[in-house]
Amino acid sequence: GLLAIAFPALAEPQTMVIGYLGEQRKLPLPLGPLDEAVTDDGLQGARLGIADDAGTGRFLGQQFRLQERVLRPGEAPAEAVNAFTAAGISFVVADLDAAQLLQASAAPGAEQMTLF
């Protein structure tokens, strides 16, 4: 009796899937010979954030996973938004320019998610 109250059953960790929606961009010209071309800084930032959240989540019984989607130049974001909606993803980090972000927010299913 008392032991059962002191040690509650371990619950399954809760998994939260967060979407990342980015786009391939044309590289800017380097300012100098030591400048490195970075093509995926938004994606790497999202991965770093998920890794940081996973560290905290271990103590709280939470797991985090990143579902990544990078659009090709000229590709509309509606298909990616639809895939996120079908997967039940409700939080999406959007590394898009203004026009692409407006298209993503107007896509069917976007009303069910929060775009950051």
- Domain ranges across the chain: 13-24+38-115
Tokens in use for 21? 């929606």
Listed residue (62, 57, 64) closest to 14, CA to CA = 62
- pLDDT of 23 reads 93
What residue has token string 């998920």? 50
- pLDDT of 6 reads 46
Q: Is the pTM of this model over 0.85?
A: no
Measured distance CA(40)–CA(53) in Å, rounded: 20
What's the CATH number of domain 13-24+38-115, 2.30.240, 3.40.50, 1.20.950, 1.25.40?
3.40.50
> What string of pLDDT tens digits covers the 116 residues of the chain?
444 444 444 567 788 999 999 998 887 777 877 877 777 888 989 999 999 988 888 888 899 999 999 999 889 999 999 999 999 999 999 999 999 999 999 999 999 999 99
CB atoms within 10 A of CB 97: 9
